[in-house]
Chain A
Amino acid sequence: MLRLEHISVAYGKHEALHDVTVDVAPSRTTAILGANGAGKSTLLKTVAGLVRPQPGGKVLFHDRPIEQEAPHRIVAAGIALVPEGRRLFGEMSVIDNLRIGAYPERARAGESERLKRQFTLFPRLAERRQQLAKTMSGGEQQMLAIARALMSEPKILLLDEPSLGLSPRLVSDLFSVLRRLTEGGQSIVLVEQNAYQSLKLADYIYVLENGRIASAGTPAEMRQDKMIQKAYLGL
């Protein structure tokens, strides 16, 4: 459904991704692991159209190349990114943030029931719908960021380190929400540091190291991999 072919990305002199090829299957969860600086976020940004790959690299969505599209076109096509650090519209109310999520033409029909769905998924948001986003706690902000992305009814949801800065309880809440999404058939691409949670959630895993795919496989295979154990599980 989504396929990255030979993607290389460089910022000035620095090559962040080198010849990366990744496959994302429909209604599956694909996790991308790696240390800080391994190129995980760049990968998602490339898909979302925030950075351009070097010539030769392709991003195919339903076999249509989108690597040169502008971000809003990619959202319209059905790929939503929950960016690192959430990037909410802090000066706006929860409800406005969600409404903006439904901005693409495609997403305007049925906006209201999707809004309801978000509120059932994240009850806290329902309570705080009029509150300014920037005044909410970290956990709530992360929920809102995800809900905003879901408002565009994405075919694929990209999550960049959603567990960033959350306490363990919130982290497990978060992952249970993600699990419910996947059970609902939502395809997810997840960039995480939190290896075990990701391993539990994901159907397939890529490990990035210094901008290259170091290894890939099912969670089961990964659990065996000594290098992963050491480098990313910190044990």
Chain B
Amino acid sequence: MADGSKWLAFLAAIIGAGVLAALPLDLSAYGVSTGIVYFANIALATAWALFSGPTRYISLATAAFVGVGMYTVAFAHVSLDLAVCLMLAAIVGFLFALVVGLSTLRLRGVYFVIFTFGLTELMRQLSSWYEINITHKLNRFITISIDSIVIYEMLLVLAVAAVFGSWYVSTTRLGHALRAIGEDETVARHTGINATWVKVLVFAIAASMMSLVGGVYALRYPSIDPTVGFGNAWSFQVLIAALLGGPGRPWGPAIGAVLLVLLSDFLVGAFSRYFTIALGVCFVVIVYFIPGGIAPRIEHLYGVLARARHAARSAPGASAPHEPPTDAAAVDNETEAEMREVVPRRRSALRPLMRRLTRSGPMLRGGTGPPQGAMLSVDGLRKAFGGLIAVRDLSFDIPTGGVTGLIGPNGSGKTTVLNLITGELPPEAGSIILQGDEIIGARSFEICRARIARTFQLVRVLPGMTTRENVMLGRMFGSDPTGPAAALSEADILLDRVGLADRAQLIGSQLTYIDQKRVELARALATRPQLLLLDEWLAGLNPTELKIGIDLIRRIQREGVTVLMVEHVMEAIRALCGHVIVMNAGMKIAEGTAAEVLSDPKVTQVYLGDDNAAA
């Protein structure tokens, strides 16, 4: 959205909230009690989407956290002041989620769903076991009676806090990190994001909100028992609400929640015995007909109108609403594997760069001082997949400040080497020393922060994020992290530098192959690397583009960045590499200057697979 309309929306929301807060004055008691239900669901659905929206982890643990909140209050209210109880509920929920998250967020997809579903059941059993065998009373009484208007106001505050909170988070580093993880966790980690920690943290934040809501909601009941707190209904309703509204938007789940409560009220009145069926049908309908939820569609509509209105003045694409990833052109499962085959339309995509190369971008803080010694030295590195030995006892040095070429036929283990260096794969043996420090065992994000950046052979641009956001990530989480604002300005400079300024607002999936490669490079540079690993970054360029690409790499090197490039394009190797390592079948078979290795019979043999190839 354009800034103007954003503030307008903000203002509207404030006013709306104010009105809602004053409403009870002339709202029927029933209005109040329904308001309570609405706000609770809004807060819960929003909290759910805060984590599950970006990461696409389908969590059914809502009920577990709500229940924890309820029980915390139920236990504490007898001895403590209400405010303290609620704080306690939030804290307990947070800690509980921290433990759960740390132990289970490594589970992907269905395993996570099952686990969270089970977690609720588990909590219900444990709590009833406790109440029956320890306190000998299943229902736990809430001895303070709070006026439902107070509950109404408290939940209203929580609902508003949830919506604005999740909107705010989405603008922070945390929010960006979370989105990046949802789009492509590998890239996120290689861009310096501590994925595990980010996930656990947000999971816990969302959970503490749920517990808080539960804590307040408990005050509605004269007494609670395990079926109230840990009833699965919470999890399902919240899930549907969020998906119905659209978990991709801060305000989507709120809409979903309102619609769902309306719907279920109608169903209870109209034909309650078919309630379950109707609920199920809702699920299916959402999955098939509104995968992204309602919010994106509304936004889309809004965008269309907005563009129609602003057509004259606004900058092209400036306020274009982005389709959610789910709406992006569906490609079959093999997409990724195909990408290597993907080829750009013939147009010199890099040409604008020529001009910019004369202008200087931000100084990349490269290897300080004059080039000396080895930036990185690999010794006795070994990695096998099943019976396949991908890398066997490989040793080499990367001289500081230079461009080193790593060549060899496909499948000779070059990319595996990069994965070992960047901590994507653990080696079976050997050591990797970065300027005197062993980096084996370091996790990808730590290696990125140690100022080693990489691009991927199968281009990996975050499809749902804009070009600009892609590059900002690098700056926000790279070797010296900054806030979004600073990152944004620097991202734009880098984009300008690689010639993508005019496409800053396009989302990754809308970019051509070449542009995606440029985004990847910009993203890597944004992390401020001292060592840059390029994996066939020049593959599939036409001669002109190739020339420009080569110049760009040279320029980067001149600015003090050491480069290791895996390449098949001999022309580039000759032009750039002072030092070339040749691999075959996981072994180093030659090393030296480009001229030396390319005239080495062993090399010609593996490349040309012919004994009299030299001729």
| A touching B, CB within 8 angstroms | yes
Using CB atoms and an 8 Å cutoff, list the residues of chain A in contact with chain B: 11-16, 35-42, 45, 50-51, 90, 134-138, 140-141, 161, 163-168, 170-172, 175, 193-197, 200, 210-211, 230, 233-235
Of chain A, the residue at the smallest CB distance from B603 is A234
> Per a CB cutoff under 8 Å, which of B346, B411, B613 touches A196?
B613
Q: Is B409 an interface residue (CB 8 A)?
A: yes
A188: min CB distance to chain B, Å:
16
Instruction: Report Cα–Cα, A12/B510, bound state, in Å.
Output: 9
Judge whether A211 and B343 touch: CB under 8 Å.
yes
Instruction: Report Cα–Cα, A99/B570, bound state, in Å.
Output: 43
Of chain B, the residue at the smallest CB distance from A199 is B610
Instruction: Report Cα–Cα, A41/B328, bound state, in Å.
Output: 25
> Per a CB cutoff under 8 Å, which of B343, B411, B509, B585 touches A38?
B343
Contact A137-B388, Cβ < 8 Å, known A165-B585, A167-B584, A194-B409: yes
A177: min CB distance to chain B, Å:
14
Judge whether B343 and A161 touch: CB under 8 Å.
no
Judge whether B584 and A161 touch: CB under 8 Å.
no
> Per a CB cutoff under 8 Å, which of A12, A41, A165, A234 touches B331?
A12
Judge whether A165 and B540 touch: CB under 8 Å.
no
Contact A14-B536, Cβ < 8 Å, known A138-B585, A193-B410, A197-B609: no
User: For B510, what are the chain A residues with a Cβ–Cβ distance below 8 Å?
Assistant: 13
Judge whether A136 and B343 touch: CB under 8 Å.
no
Instruction: Report Cα–Cα, A233/B604, bound state, in Å.
Output: 9
Q: List 22 A-B contacts (CB under 8 A).
A: A11-B341, A13-B512, A14-B342, A14-B512, A16-B341, A36-B410, A36-B539, A38-B343, A38-B540, A39-B341, A40-B341, A51-B334, A90-B386, A134-B387, A161-B411, A164-B410, A165-B388, A165-B412, A166-B585, A168-B605, A197-B608, A234-B607
User: For A170, what are the chain B residues with a Cβ–Cβ distance below 8 Å?
Assistant: 585
Of chain B, the residue at the smallest CB distance from A198 is B609
Instruction: Report Cα–Cα, A42/B341, bound state, in Å.
Output: 7
Instruction: Report Cα–Cα, A3/B585, bound state, in Å.
Output: 35
Q: Is B296 an interface residue (CB 8 A)?
A: no
Using CB atoms and an 8 Å cutoff, list the residues of chain B in contact with chain A: 328-329, 331-332, 334-335, 338-346, 386-390, 409-413, 509-513, 536, 539-540, 542, 568-571, 584-586, 598, 604-610, 613
Judge whether B345 and A15 touch: CB under 8 Å.
yes
Judge whether A12 and B386 touch: CB under 8 Å.
no
Judge whether B409 and A134 touch: CB under 8 Å.
no
User: For B390, what are the chain A residues with a Cβ–Cβ distance below 8 Å?
Assistant: 165
Instruction: Report Cα–Cα, A123/B35, bound state, in Å.
Output: 77
A196: min CB distance to chain B, Å:
4
Judge whether B388 and A141 touch: CB under 8 Å.
yes
A200: min CB distance to chain B, Å:
7
User: For B539, what are the chain A residues with a Cβ–Cβ distance below 8 Å?
Assistant: 35-37
Judge whether B540 and A36 touch: CB under 8 Å.
yes
Contact A141-B387, Cβ < 8 Å, known A38-B540, A194-B409, A196-B613: yes
User: For B389, what are the chain A residues with a Cβ–Cβ distance below 8 Å?
Assistant: 137-138
Add 12 more A-B contacts to A35-B568, A36-B340, A37-B341 (CB < 8 A).
A11-B339, A13-B512, A15-B345, A16-B342, A36-B539, A38-B540, A51-B334, A136-B387, A163-B609, A164-B411, A168-B606, A193-B409
Judge whether B338 and A42 touch: CB under 8 Å.
yes
User: For A175, what are the chain B residues with a Cβ–Cβ distance below 8 Å?
Assistant: 609
Judge whether B540 and A37 touch: CB under 8 Å.
yes
Instruction: Report Cα–Cα, A189/B274, bound state, in Å.
Output: 60
Contact A165-B411, Cβ < 8 Å, known A14-B344, A39-B343, A234-B607: yes
Which among A16, A172, A200 has the greatest number of chain B C-beta atoms within 10 A?
Answer: A16
User: For B332, what are the chain A residues with a Cβ–Cβ distance below 8 Å?
Assistant: 51
User: For B346, what are the chain A residues with a Cβ–Cβ distance below 8 Å?
Assistant: 210
Judge whether A171 and B609 touch: CB under 8 Å.
yes
Of chain B, the residue at the smallest CB distance from A12 is B329
User: For A141, what are the chain B residues with a Cβ–Cβ distance below 8 Å?
Assistant: 387-388
* 7 closest cross-chain pairs (CB), A and B: A165-B411, A37-B540, A164-B411, A14-B342, A196-B610, A167-B585, A197-B609
Judge whether B568 and A196 touch: CB under 8 Å.
no
User: For B410, what are the chain A residues with a Cβ–Cβ distance below 8 Å?
Assistant: 36, 161, 164-165, 193
Instruction: Report Cα–Cα, A134/B586, bound state, in Å.
Output: 18
User: For B331, what are the chain A residues with a Cβ–Cβ distance below 8 Å?
Assistant: 11-12
Of chain B, the residue at the smallest CB distance from A139 is B585
A61: min CB distance to chain B, Å:
22
Contact A165-B609, Cβ < 8 Å, known A37-B340, A38-B540, A136-B387: no
Judge whether A234 and B411 touch: CB under 8 Å.
no
> Per a CB cutoff under 8 Å, which of B345, B413, B607 touches A165?
B413
A27: min CB distance to chain B, Å:
24
User: For A11, what are the chain B residues with a Cβ–Cβ distance below 8 Å?
Assistant: 331, 335, 338-339, 341-342
Judge whether A234 and B409 touch: CB under 8 Å.
no
Contact A210-B343, Cβ < 8 Å, known A50-B334, A195-B608: yes
Judge whether A51 and B338 touch: CB under 8 Å.
yes
Instruction: Report Cα–Cα, A210/B387, bound state, in Å.
Output: 35
User: For A167, what are the chain B residues with a Cβ–Cβ distance below 8 Å?
Assistant: 584-585, 606
User: For A134, what are the chain B residues with a Cβ–Cβ distance below 8 Å?
Assistant: 386-387
Instruction: Report Cα–Cα, A172/B610, bound state, in Å.
Output: 8
Instruction: Report Cα–Cα, A174/B49, bound state, in Å.
Output: 54
Of chain B, the residue at the smallest CB distance from A211 is B343
Contact A135-B411, Cβ < 8 Å, known A51-B338, A195-B608: no
B339: min CB distance to chain A, Å:
7
Instruction: Report Cα–Cα, A172/B570, bound state, in Å.
Output: 23
Of chain B, the residue at the smallest CB distance from A83 is B337
> Per a CB cutoff under 8 Å, which of A16, A35, A168, A233 touches B338?
A16
Instruction: Report Cα–Cα, A234/B603, bound state, in Å.
Output: 11
User: For B598, what are the chain A residues with a Cβ–Cβ distance below 8 Å?
Assistant: 234-235
User: For A137, what are the chain B residues with a Cβ–Cβ distance below 8 Å?
Assistant: 387-389
> Per a CB cutoff under 8 Å, which of A14, A45, A195 touches B343?
A14
User: For A164, what are the chain B residues with a Cβ–Cβ distance below 8 Å?
Assistant: 409-411
B566: min CB distance to chain A, Å:
11
User: For B344, what are the chain A residues with a Cβ–Cβ distance below 8 Å?
Assistant: 14, 210
Of chain B, the residue at the smallest CB distance from A197 is B609
Instruction: Report Cα–Cα, A164/B329, bound state, in Å.
Output: 32
Judge whether A37 and B608 touch: CB under 8 Å.
no
B344: min CB distance to chain A, Å:
7
Instruction: Report Cα–Cα, A167/B587, bound state, in Å.
Output: 9
